[in-house]
Amino acid sequence: MPPGIPTAGSMSTTMELIGKQLGRYSLVEHIATGGMAEIFLAQQESLGKFKKELVLKVLQTRWEEYPEVVDMFLEEARISALMHHPNIVEVFDVAAESGRHYIAMEYIAGRTLADLAKRAIQVTKSISIEVGAYIAAEMASALAYMYDGDGGMGQPLRVIHRDVSPTNILISTTGQVKLIDFGIARQGNITPESRARPGKFTYMSPEQVKNAPLDGRSDVFCLGTILYEITLGRRLWRGTREAAMKRIVEERPRPPTFVRRDYPADLELIVLRALEKKPDDRYQSAVELHRELQGFLARSNAHLRSHFHMADYVAKIFSAEAEALISDAGRRRAQEFVDNAEGLESEPADLDFDAELAAGPGAALARALRASALGVWAETGPRQGEQASEAKAEEAKAEVGSAPTPAKKAAPEKAADKVAADREVEKPAGAAPKPAAAVPPVKAAAAALAKPVSIKLAALDEPSDRLPRRWTPILIAAIALLVGVGVLWWLRGQ
């Protein structure tokens, strides 16, 4: 940047522009403030009651006097205008009016991926696996077009975004996934001499951190970071700017199955390959990554197959029913995710979605409520530990049902068996079993609350065939002591 950079205090008040006309566009509402520009919702009117909403990106007045900044702004418009892809925001116009430069672009009603990830962490701990893979596949399609597509010009575009991050990915209300903000994008492979301005430091590739030459594989690494984070609900490169950059270059990411044991193994391979430190070890193009993600979605029989399903997921995760499921712990986790807090590292049990998964009425009720609110998007299926406990419960029920009555027993029953027998509901002899009926999720949870506790009580009386873990070190020490005494005795005899 040139010396004497103007401060934010010299920026004209954005509210003064509301209701004003800028070229052919009327500014309706201020949406956001960026590093160099203000974002407005605008409206264009024309003949025959024509009216269209769009977005105007207006360069801040403090930068208008710096030609190099204006050139960067115009370069963003030029690169954006080259691309026409369903997963990339459309740019319609660039102009200057009364000394104010602006870019007119497509208005996308929706939410950023950052907002969606935060909400999903609050409600269900993370974006669901198939939704995360779908979003990544859509972004891989955009990156593939940007770098390897020809845009109808007969040669590859070779555009490198350099700022692929959750805040620059929008999910529209109709379920379309769009890449936005080409403010620091460049066309052609970038060398260190070009003084590449990096993007957000937690979403940079190792070569960006080292200011090494860049190509399309740099954006592939950034997308791998996003896929890791949104499907696990935790940040990957945590810490301060310096600490995060050091981790990006030197630290290998923890495999997703170390964080979430039910994470799909084939998706884990995709994520880890995208996150390889050396570009030559990664996917050599976003085309390859897109193909792998599409294959994963097909093999997993994912429910999400189109942007209509994506729109349904977004609507449900932001519904009033989902709002009622948010706990204080969920809000805390989501805020730590947004803040990129180091505290996440010290809570492995909270991050492990399989650890201590409640096999009990409380967990069943929580899952049923999520299923009621989110429908197919609630990952409420029983996990491995819960399936085992349910199998044991069924076996115990069968044993109780086939046991002789108390009057005919030769030996007195154990206390736990009596509790189990008392809690069993008597069925009339010869009664035909009723056909299974569909039970609403909330009613199923209520039924779970009434499950007999006799199985747990009976388990307390069963002898264990394993030595308690707390005795293991004592036993080892005792054996070592005996061996030592024996050796000393033998030496003394010699």
Cβ contacts of residue 151 below 8 Å, gap of 6+?
82, 83, 84, 145, 157
Which tokens sit at 144? 């593939």
Cα–Cα distance between 447 and 260 in angstroms, integer? 29
Buried b (16+ CB within 10 A) or exposed e, 198-231: bbbbbbbbbbbbeeeebbbbbbbbbbbbbbbbbb
**Is residue 389 over pLDDT 50?**
no
Average pLDDT over residues 86-100: 93
Cβ contacts of residue 237 below 8 Å, gap of 6+?
202, 225, 244, 245, 247, 248, 251
E-strand ranges in 146-280 read: 159-160, 169-172, 177-179, 186-187
What's the farthest any 2 CA atoms get from each other in the chain? 115
Which tokens sit at 419? 């509790």
Sorted by where each starts, the structural domains of the chain and their CATH numbers stand as 8-107 (3.30.200.20), 111-351 (1.10.510.10)
For the ranges 226-240, 344-358, 405-419, the one whose mean pLDDT is highest: 226-240
Q: Annotate 95-116 with DSSP letters as a single string.
A: EEETTEEEEEEE---EEEHHHH
Top-confidence residue, 358 or 167: 167
**Is residue 106 over pLDDT 50?**
yes
Inter-CA distances, 446 with 118, 149, 376, 471, Å: 30, 55, 20, 40
Active site amino acids: 163
Top-confidence residue, 21 or 347: 21
Which tokens sit at 421? 């027998």
pLDDT band of 250, cuts 50, 70, 90: very high
Residue found under tokens 């199985």: 455
**pLDDT tens column, 71-88:** 999 999 999 999 999 999
Instruction: Measure CA 76 to chain center.
Output: 29
Which tokens sit at 12? 């004209």
Helix (H, G, I), strand (E, B) or coil at 171: strand
Which percentage of the chain shows pLDDT scores above 70?
69
Cβ–Cβ contacts within 10 Å for residue 439, how many? 12
Which tokens sit at 116? 């969606």
**Is residue 283 over pLDDT 50?**
yes
Residue 373 confidence (pLDDT): 60
Residue 224 confidence (pLDDT): 97
Burial tier of 294 (Cβ tally within 10 Å: 0-12, 13-18, 19+):
middle
Top-confidence residue, 316 or 15: 316
E-strand ranges in 124-246 read: 159-160, 169-172, 177-179, 186-187
Q: Rounded to the nearest 10 degrees, what angle do helices 286-299 and 216-232 cross at?
A: 30
E-strand ranges in 357-486 read: none
Residue 418 confidence (pLDDT): 43
Strand order in the sheet with 37-46: 21-22, 25-33, 37-46, 50-59, 100-106, 91-97
CA atoms lying within 13 Å on the CB side of residue 394 = 5
Q: What mean pLDDT is reported for the chain?
A: 78
Cα–Cα distance between 168 and 459 in angstroms, integer? 54
Buried b (16+ CB within 10 A) or exposed e, 300-332: eebbbeebebbbbbbebbeeeebeebeeeebee
Residue 379 confidence (pLDDT): 63
Cα–Cα distance between 379 and 128 in angstroms, integer? 7
Cα–Cα distance between 413 and 419 in angstroms, integer? 10
For the ranges 177-191, 350-364, 428-442, 444-458, the one whose mean pLDDT is highest: 177-191
**pLDDT tens column, 135-170:** 999 999 999 999 998 877 778 999 999 999 999 999
Residue 327 confidence (pLDDT): 87
